[in-house]
Every structure is written in structure tokens, then in C-alpha cells.
């Protein structure tokens, strides 16, 4: 994976920041498991797991904290 996909953490709004946090989380999975076939194979297992979904929510929340801090919590 050589394509730069994260030029900045600065976003125009909290909503855009949340979308970036989700993208960061997804990219983390993609870097950890580069095989699209393996990710597709595993998806049904975690899609029905409450524990897995809670864990995903936690990762997104941590990434959103990072983006929010980089944006000074969108204070003018």
C-alpha cells in the first residue's frame, strides 16, 4: 500500500471528522489484513458478534478523539 490516503487530520466539521475516523479504522483493518479475500471471509463472523461490533465502535471512538484533538475540537 503505497498510496497516500491521509494528507491531514484537519476537517471542516465534526461530522467530516467522524467520517475520517471511520476511514482510519477501516484502513487499519486493511493494513493489518491486506487480503481482501480473507477480510470478506471473516466479515460474516464478526458481523453477527456483539463483542466484535462493540470493539469496532471503540476503535472508531479512539480515532475520532484523535481527529477532534487535531481540530481543536472545532472551536473557532
Judged against a pLDDT cut of 70, whether residue 1 lies above it is answered with no
Q: Which three cell numbers mark 49?
A: 458478534
Contact 71, 9 (CB under 8 A): yes
Cα within 13 Å of Cα(73), Cβ side: 1
- Given this model, what pLDDT does residue 3 score? 76
Over 90: is that where the pLDDT of 63 sits?
A: yes
What rounded mean pLDDT belongs to the chain?
Answer: 95
* Cell numbers placing 15: 461530522
Q: Cα–Cα distance between 26 and 31 in angstroms, integer? A: 9
Q: For the chain, give the percent of residues with pLDDT over 70.
A: 97
The answer to whether the predicted template modeling score (pTM) of the entire model surpasses 0.85 is: yes
Amino acid at each position: 500500500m503505497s498510496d497516500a490516503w491521509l494528507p491531514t487530520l484537519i476537517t471542516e466539521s465534526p461530522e467530516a471528522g467522524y467520517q475520517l475516523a471511520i476511514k482510519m479504522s477501516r484502513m487499519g483493518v486493511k493494513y493489518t489484513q491486506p487480503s481482501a479475500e480473507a477480510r470478506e471471509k471473516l466479515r460474516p463472523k464478526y458481523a453477527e458478534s456483539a463483542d466484535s461490533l462493540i470493539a469496532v465502535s471503540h476503535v472508531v471512538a479512539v480515532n475520532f478523539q484523535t481527529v477532534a484533538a487535531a481540530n481543536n475540537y472545532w472551536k473557532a
